[in-house]
Amino acid sequence: MSVNSSGGSVLDVENVRSRVSESVISFVDDRSQLLNDVDPHLDDLHVALLDFLNEGKRLRPAFCWWGWRAAGGADEDGVIQAAASLELLQACALIHDDVMDGSDTRRNAPSIHRRMATEHANAGWRGDSDNFGVAAAILLGDICLSWTDEMYSTADLSIDILQRGRPYLDVMRTEVMAGQYLDVVAQARAEADSDLALRVATFKSAKYTIERPLQLGAAMFGGDDKLLAGLSNYGLPLGEAFQLRDDLLGVYGDPEVTGKPAGDDLREGKRTYLVTKALQLATLADAATLDTLLGDPELDTNGINQARELIADTGAGADVERLIAERTEQALESLDTVDIDPQARRVLSDLAVAATVRAG
Amino acid sequence: MSVNSSGGSVLDVENVRSRVSESVISFVDDRSQLLNDVDPHLDDLHVALLDFLNEGKRLRPAFCWWGWRAAGGADEDGVIQAAASLELLQACALIHDDVMDGSDTRRNAPSIHRRMATEHANAGWRGDSDNFGVAAAILLGDICLSWTDEMYSTADLSIDILQRGRPYLDVMRTEVMAGQYLDVVAQARAEADSDLALRVATFKSAKYTIERPLQLGAAMFGGDDKLLAGLSNYGLPLGEAFQLRDDLLGVYGDPEVTGKPAGDDLREGKRTYLVTKALQLATLADAATLDTLLGDPELDTNGINQARELIADTGAGADVERLIAERTEQALESLDTVDIDPQARRVLSDLAVAATVRAG
């Protein structure tokens, strides 16, 4: 299954990715019968979800899997299913996030609420198509969240393994929702509070994307407190670096690669670390101009370019790049000090680079 | 704990209700620390949820508890906690439902998205207060849905008991979300399709409120297929009657008692069995007028009264009352044929009347 050479970890990562994809698609397909028993109309939601799930980096399942392997766990399909359940949690988070942000695009396709609004309009149904789209997206997200738990619980693993992981699954679900709320509050308070921006990054990204999935996998195998703490020392700084990269991509990213419209974070007025740093470093006049541009739903290409230049002029972007490099380095150093399976160490080291040096 | 007289079951029902309330409030209070660790801003969501959970009929936990007792289960606090987790599922369903319907009021208080929008406005925060309220409500609903599972899984019961119940918890979560979606579709299709209206009632009410909670409780104790089928024969017709009563209250109910504005279902254009029957029975001219009034978000008191009279004139209300009586009778007859604990039988018989003869 794995190749013991420096090129091996790419194959390992790809292998896990494709097994995770297969697992989540097959779980959702199995559930189509239950939806169809309610009514054939449910097929629209089912197909929308399958299309949505066909894309995705499978990052959280990957960290969960390599947490299990790091602790010494063998290759087991049941673990793939338990790890893949995190894709359904992520689907809920993204589908609901797009509703909250009013985002039209996700993964290079219309967001779920836009897609369902179009289906409503095409069917010539009564009422407001946008409202219908939002209702459908809220419910589909709820279904994904319920299925997260169902997919995890029905994995072919001993009940002891599942019970050991459950507290980590529980805490990560609460943390991601709470982190999302804090993000919305930060946006509404609209202050140049970079501590708050980093706290949002910690909860909605660092813990949710990396630390908790790793710990979930390791705890399932029965990893001890020392291992879990070691994985946390790797996961938290890496997760922060991951989110900081996301912040840069949200402002400067290529829509073709990110799958989101250009400057989306600017239009939404997200108070990321990058943005709060720029507001702090800018001249008073520039900060005032930037503050006006942020969160303007009508922001056009000119406005986006203006905001990009204002941010770049402050040097905040370079600051963020430095921080990403620092945090990634810190993660890799921590990884060296943890006592884990050598194959897992190699993959986790490669994943650290993949998560922080990327274009989308 | 129980009194073996005809008045005993009222005490039994009240006792379970208050223990369920205590259990769910105490669970949510315990979780406040985790939310506070994320950020003190989360306290706003926490307090909003506690206020919301202070109200509620606790119907689903009651049926779950009495399903357990019917199968022969003893009085155990762990079962109260597992049953009470259904209040969190119901909180998610209601909080999200109010967002989807744009409802301002729930349980005689502002709905969660309205409450959070007001907090945003009072704080003088940036951006649209309504959007903030919707985002907060979506996330709070998601937290409730995650906690449903966490509360169920951490109940002080053997893992065997929890595992036996899990498939029923799983199916009821999917069915209620799917039923809600079907309700939204029925409203959008805006046809006089009373079969569709009854299917919506079956999934979003009859199964979700009565049949599945009963089966969950009975399955946790290890009830056999015959018992589960017998409880279904009681639960499904009763649940349908319960929803039909809700349909009447949605049109004719007293806002003081229902906790919802007068004629709310009319303004939302809900295609309930009552409404579809009225459209079928009305003269062509009356049906056309009624159809125009239904789903008009600006519908005022005059419009509501006009719609009420049009529906009453068709005799559809009397039809629905007859159907409620029939279904309740059918439920009670089925109850007589199931082999269950006599105390549970008495309570279930009383609950059948309480669920269908009520003003709110």
Contact yes or no for B41 and A166 at CB 8 A: no
Q: Give the number of beta-carbon pairs within 8 Å between A and B.
A: 177
Question: Which 8-state DSSP code applies to residue B40?
Answer: G
Q: What is the mean pLDDT of residues A275-291?
A: 95
Contact yes or no for A188 and B139 at CB 8 A: no
- Average pLDDT of every residue of chain A: 93
> How sure is the predictor about A7, in pLDDT bands with cuts at 50, 70 and 90?
low
State the amino acid at position B27 in one-letter form.
Answer: F
Q: Which of A256, A360, A345, A357 is CA-nearest to residue A67?
A: A345
Residues of A in contact with B41 (CB under 8 A): 181-182, 185
Q: What is the pLDDT of residue B7?
A: 52
| Nearest CB to A100; choose among B39, B135, B180 | B135
| Nearest CB to B142; choose among A96, A140, A182 | A96
Contact yes or no for B179 and A38 at CB 8 A: yes
Tell me the C-alpha to C-alpha distance, in Å, between residue B330 and each of A28, A80, A331, B212, B323. 37, 47, 65, 18, 10
| Nearest CB to A177; choose among B41, B139, B187 | B139
> How sure is the predictor about A4, in pLDDT bands with cuts at 50, 70 and 90?
very low
Q: What is the pLDDT of residue B262?
A: 82
Chain segment A198-245, per-residue pLDDT in tens = 999 999 899 999 999 999 999 999 999 999 999 999 999 999 999 999
- Whether B162 has a pLDDT exceeding 70, the answer reads yes
- Whether A193 has a pLDDT exceeding 80, the answer reads yes
Q: What is the mean pLDDT of residues B61-89?
A: 97
CA distance B227 to chain A (A): 22
Contact yes or no for B34 and A125 at CB 8 A: no
Contact yes or no for A177 and B31 at CB 8 A: no
Dist CA A99 CA A112 (whole Å):
8
Residues of A in contact with B171 (CB under 8 A): 34
Residues of B in contact with A174 (CB under 8 A): 31, 34-35, 143, 146-147, 150
Q: What is the mean pLDDT of residues A34-60?
A: 94
Chain segment A143-175, per-residue pLDDT in tens = 999 999 999 999 999 999 999 999 999 999 999
Contact yes or no for A149 and B149 at CB 8 A: yes
Q: Which residue of A has its CA nearest to B99?
A: A135
Residues of A in contact with B127 (CB under 8 A): 187-188, 190, 269, 295
Dist CA A151 CA A163 (whole Å):
14
Q: What is the mean pLDDT of residues A336-351?
A: 93
Contact yes or no for A134 and B100 at CB 8 A: yes
- Average pLDDT of every residue of chain B: 93
Tell me the C-alpha to C-alpha distance, in Å, between residue A217 and each of A211, A221, A278. 10, 7, 38
Instruction: List, in order, residues 6 or more apart from A268 with CB less than 8 Å away.
Output: A101, A103, A187, A295
- Whether B2 has a pLDDT exceeding 80, the answer reads no
Q: What is the pLDDT of residue B340?
A: 94
Contact yes or no for A181 and B102 at CB 8 A: no
Contact yes or no for B141 and A139 at CB 8 A: no
Instruction: List, in order, residues 6 or more apart from B67 with CB less than 8 Å away.
Output: B213, B214, B215, B216, B217, B218, B219, B220, B223, B231
> How sure is the predictor about A264, in pLDDT bands with cuts at 50, 70 and 90?
confident
| Nearest CB to A127; choose among B159, B174, B187 | B187
Tokens of B225: 């297929």
Choose the mutation target among A184, A279, A291, A294 for the interface with B, i.e. most B CBs under 10 Å. Answer: A184
Residues of A in contact with B120 (CB under 8 A): 188
Q: Which of A279, A215, A275, A267 is CA-nearest to residue A246?
A: A275
Tokens of A247: 């912040």
Residue A106 DSSP SS3: strand
Residues of A in contact with B175 (CB under 8 A): 34, 38
Residues of A in contact with B99 (CB under 8 A): 134, 138
Contact yes or no for B150 and A170 at CB 8 A: yes
CA distance A3 to chain B (A): 39
Contact yes or no for A182 and B39 at CB 8 A: yes
- Whether B6 has a pLDDT exceeding 80, the answer reads no
Q: What is the mean pLDDT of residues B90-113?
A: 94
- Whether B326 has a pLDDT exceeding 60, the answer reads yes
Residues of B in contact with A35 (CB under 8 A): 174, 178
CA distance B174 to chain A (A): 6
> How sure is the predictor about B190, in pLDDT bands with cuts at 50, 70 and 90?
confident
Q: Which of A250, A278, A279 is CA-nearest to residue A265?
A: A250
Q: What is the pLDDT of residue B4?
A: 42
> How sure is the predictor about B107, in pLDDT bands with cuts at 50, 70 and 90?
confident
Q: What is this model's ipTM? A: 0.94
- Whether B5 has a pLDDT exceeding 50, the answer reads no
Chain segment B294-305, per-residue pLDDT in tens = 989 899 999 999
Q: What is the pLDDT of residue A344?
A: 94
Strands (E), B147-249: none
Tokens of B243: 């929803």
Q: Is the separation of the CB atoms in B217 and B73 below 8 Å?
A: yes
Sole residue written with tokens 């912040």: A247
Chain segment A305-333, per-residue pLDDT in tens = 999 999 999 999 999 999 999 999 999 99
Choose the mutation target among B116, B142, B173 for the interface with A, i.e. most A CBs under 10 Å. Answer: B142
Q: What is the pLDDT of residue B248?
A: 94
Tell me the C-alpha to C-alpha distance, in Å, between residue A185 and each of A16, A79, B123. 36, 36, 11
Q: What is the pLDDT of residue A8?
A: 63
- Whether A267 has a pLDDT exceeding 60, the answer reads yes
For chain A, the farthest-separated pair of C-alpha atoms sits apart, in whole angstroms, at: 62
Instruction: Determine how many CB atoms are found less than 10 A away from the CB of residue B51.
Output: 14
Tokens of B271: 């295609």
- Whether A187 has a pLDDT exceeding 60, the answer reads yes
Dist CA A281 CA A275 (whole Å):
10
Residues of A in contact with B178 (CB under 8 A): 34-35, 38-39, 42, 45, 139, 143
Tokens of A176: 């991601």
Choose the mutation target among A31, A34, A41, A290 for the interface with B, i.e. most B CBs under 10 Å. Answer: A41
Contact yes or no for A174 and B132 at CB 8 A: no
Question: What whole-number percentage of chain A has pLDDT above 70?
Answer: 98
Q: What is the mean pLDDT of residues B269-273?
A: 91
- Whether B217 has a pLDDT exceeding 70, the answer reads yes
Choose the mutation target among A37, A126, A268 for the interface with B, i.e. most B CBs under 10 Å. Answer: A126
